[in-house]
Structure formats: structure tokens, C-alpha cells
């Protein structure tokens, strides 16, 4: 029952389905993505706002989507569009059990860190890392929106208990949020590999580098306070993950994170402005 509800409840945003197609065929789809953005004034405005933000530090104002693609790159523009279309699709009133602002910032920042880790390690298909990071906790948004009564019960007295408790989730909902997220992604026709990354983000398998990268990004975003999420409270780095992606120790990973700190805080500030 729950699976069926997840599969049918949230229609896939058009922009996201086009961007998924562009994963396989980026060059032929640039024009269609640009056309789609131009057709939706709210999306176009957001892309231009981000493109002109101090983060990118352009001296010349970017006034068209075509120019934004040229200077920021197609992938970067796709990232902005995916993040905002997901925000629109999952929009819900916040309450004491769930903050949309916190959830969305956490998702975007995990996406950015996963992509940056992927790039640091010389991996291909960085957009895949971004999208997996973006979608990793979508299951919690589903609980909040469609199973609100059960979610409140799960959150305990006053809706204020938060933190990672996968077994408790399984008892309450019959599945944990990672599986719920994967179920939505399958309904939205994400590639199977990406669905698996989200399904396994709390239990990455050894030698599945993509799963390890999203797991590490999730931990770092909480630990470094780049976009912490109350429902991730208690999340820890699993043994062997740092080595799996080619670092010798956790200290080496943390030193890398320190070097990203200023930049990540700037990104977080820019994204936070969406809510003001």
C-alpha cells in the first residue's frame, strides 16, 4: 500500500525528467533544457539569480539563460534547475516535525559536496553524484507529506524527537526513508544505479564508490554544519569508507573538508536566500 502511494503521489517535474535524459545525451539536449527554462519564468529567474550571485563573482551581468549556460556550464545550470524543481515538487508546510527549509538546504549541500568529492577523486558523471545527493533523504519528506499522522507518532511527544533510527522507521512505516526515496526515484525513472545509491546511503556497500561518496557527503554536511538536518542527528561515518574512496585516514578527509569550508558556507548563504 505504502509503495503504491509513494509511486503515484508526486508527479515528476518535467525539468527533472529532461535532465535525467540529458545525463546520457548532454550535447543534443542543451537546447531543449534552455527552451524549457525559458518557458518557465520562475525557473529562469532563479537560474539568473544564482548565476549572478556573489558566489560566481562575475563582473558582467548574466541576463539570458543561453549566456548562463555558456559561462557556468550546462551541468551547473542543470544542477540549479534540478534543485529548484525538486523544491517545487516537494513543497510542504513546515512544522515542528519537519522543516522544508532545513531539508532542502541539507539536500542541496549534500549534492554539492558529493559532486565535489567525486571531482576530487577524478570520477566521471559528476551530475549523477549531485542528483543522488539531492535525492538522498527525500523519503523523509514523503513521510511528512503523505503519512503525516504516522510521522507525528514516530516523532514522539510534541513531534520533537529527531535523529537517525532506521529500525524504528521500518517498524512505523514498513520501510526506512532510504527505501521510500528509492521507490519514488524508480517511479520517476531514475537510472537503477542512482536508485541504489539512495537506497544504500546509510549502508553503503564496499567497493560501491558512488554509495560511499554520498554517505561521506551526508556525514560531512552535518559535521561541518554546512546544512545539518535534525533527522540525521547521530549519523556517523562508517568504517572503511574513507579508505574506499582513496584517502588514508579520516584526518585526511577532515583536512580536505576544512579547505572547502569557506566556499561551502558561501554556497549555503546563497541558497538560504531562496527562503527570504
- How many residues at the interface with Fe ion, by CB under 5 A? 3
Nearer to Fe ion, 178 or 244 (CB): 178
Instruction: Compute the least distance from the CB of residue 264 to Fe ion, in Å.
Output: 15
- Dist CA 212 CA 59 (whole Å): 38
Q: Write out the three cell numbers for 234.
A: 547521530
Q: Which of the stretches 29-37, 73-81, 133-141, 255-263 binds Fe ion when contact is defined by CB under 5 A?
A: 133-141
Using CB under 5 A as the binding rule, whether residue 199 contacts Fe ion is answered as no
Instruction: Compute the least distance from the CB of residue 138 to Fe ion, in Å.
Output: 9
Candidate list 137, 169, 196, 211; residue touching Fe ion; CB under 5 A: 137
- Dist CA 221 CA 108 (whole Å): 10
Q: Binding mask 159-198 vs Fe ion (x if CB under 5 A, - otherwise)? A: ----------------------------------------
- Dist CA 131 CA 21 (whole Å): 13
Instruction: Compute the least distance from the CB of residue 225 to Fe ion, in Å.
Output: 13
25-32 long-range contacts, CB within 8 A, separation 24+: 26/74, 26/75, 30/69, 30/74
Please report how the helices 2-9 and 177-187 are oriented relative to each other, as an axis angle in degrees rounded to 10: 50
Q: Binding mask 208-227 vs Fe ion (x if CB under 5 A, - otherwise)? A: ----------x---------
* Alpha-carbon distances of 274 from 47, 49, 83, 261, rounded to whole Å: 11, 10, 11, 21
Nearer to Fe ion, 76 or 218 (CB): 218
CB 188 within 8 A of CB 16: yes
Q: Binding mask 221-260 vs Fe ion (x if CB under 5 A, - otherwise)? A: -----------x----------------------------
Instruction: Compute the least distance from the CB of residue 214 to Fe ion, in Å.
Output: 9
Taking alpha carbons only, the member of 44, 1, 2 closest to residue 169 is 2
Nearer to Fe ion, 76 or 137 (CB): 137
CB 217 within 8 A of CB 117: yes
The residues of the shown chain that bind Fe ion, judged by CB under 5 A, are: 137, 218, 232
Amino acid at each position: 500500500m505504502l509503495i503504491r502511494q509513494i509511486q503515484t503521489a508526486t508527479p515528476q517535474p518535467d525539468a527533472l525528467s529532461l535532465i535525467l535524459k540529458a545525463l546520457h545525451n548532454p550535447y543534443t539536449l542543451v537546447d531543449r533544457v534552455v527552451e524549457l527554462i525559458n518557458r518557465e519564468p520562475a525557473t529562469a529567474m532563479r537560474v539568473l539569480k544564482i548565476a549572478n550571485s556573489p558566489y560566481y563573482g562575475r563582473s558582467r551581468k548574466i541576463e539570458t539563460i543561453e549566456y548562463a549556460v555558456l559561462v557556468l556550464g550546462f551541468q551547473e545550470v542543470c544542477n540549479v534547475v534540478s534543485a529548484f524543481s525538486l523544491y517545487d515538487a516537494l513543497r510542504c508546510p513546515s512544522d515542528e516535525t519537519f522543516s522544508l527549509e532545513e531539508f532542502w538546504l541539507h539536500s542541496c549541500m549534500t549534492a554539492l559536496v558529493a559532486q565535489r568529492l567525486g571531482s576530487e577523486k577524478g570520477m566521471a558523471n559528476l551530475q549523477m553524484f549531485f542528483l543522488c545527493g539531492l535525492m538522498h533523504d527525500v523519503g523523509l519528506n514523503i513521510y511528512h507529506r503523505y503519512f503525516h499522522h504516522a510521522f507525528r507518532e514516530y516523532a514522539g511527544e510534541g513531534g520533537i524527537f529527531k535523529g537517525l533510527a532506521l529500525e524504528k522507521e521500518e517498524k512505523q512505516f514498513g520501510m526506512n526513508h532510504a527505501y521510500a526515496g528509492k521507490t519514488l526515484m524508480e517511479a520517476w525513472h531514475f537510472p537503477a544505479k542512482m536508485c541504489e545509491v539512495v537506497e544504500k546511503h546509510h549502508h553503503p556497500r564496499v567497493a560501491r564508490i558512488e554509495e560511499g561518496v554520498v554517505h561521506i557527503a551526508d556525514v560531512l554536511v552535518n559535521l561541518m554544519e554546512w546544512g545539518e538536518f535534525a533527522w540525521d542527528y547521530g549519523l556517523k561515518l562508517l568504517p572503511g569508507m574513507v579508505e574506499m574512496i582513496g584517502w588514508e585516514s579520516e584526518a585526511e578527509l577532515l583536512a580536505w573538508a576544512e579547505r572547502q569550508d569557506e566556499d561551502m558556507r558561501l554556497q549555503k548563504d546563497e541558497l538560504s536566500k531562496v527562503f527570504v
